[in-house]
A = this chain, B = another copy of it.
Amino acid sequence: MRLFGYWRSTATWRVRIALGLKRVAVEQVALDLRLGEQRARDYLARNPQGLVPALELEDGTLLTQSLAIIDYLEERFPEPALLPGDAVARARVRAFAQVIACDVHPIQNLKILNRVRDLGGDPQAWARTVIADGLSACETLLQGQNGPFAFGDAPSLADVLLVPQLANARRFGVPLDWPRINAVEAACNALPAFQAARPEMQADADA
Contacts and interface: CB of A to CB of B under 8 A. Distances in A.
Q: Which of the four size classes fits the interface of chain A? A: 35 or more
A88 interface: yes
7 contacts: A49-B137, A63-B91, A65-B99, A65-B102, A68-B92, A71-B90, A119-B121
A68 B87 contact: no
A99 B91 CA distance: 20
A19 interface: no
Given A61-B88, A69-B91, A71-B90, 6 more contacts: A48-B137, A63-B91, A68-B91, A98-B101, A106-B106, A120-B120
A95 interface: yes
Count the copies: 2
Given A67-B98, A119-B116, A121-B119, A91 B72 contact: yes
A43 interface: no
Nearest to A75: B87
Contacts of A189: none
Interface in A122-156: 126, 129, 134, 136-137, 140-141
B99 A102 contact: no
A49 to B, nearest CB: 4
B71 A91 contact: yes
B119 A49 contact: no
A48 B105 CA distance: 18
Nearest to A50: B137
A20 to B, nearest CB: 20
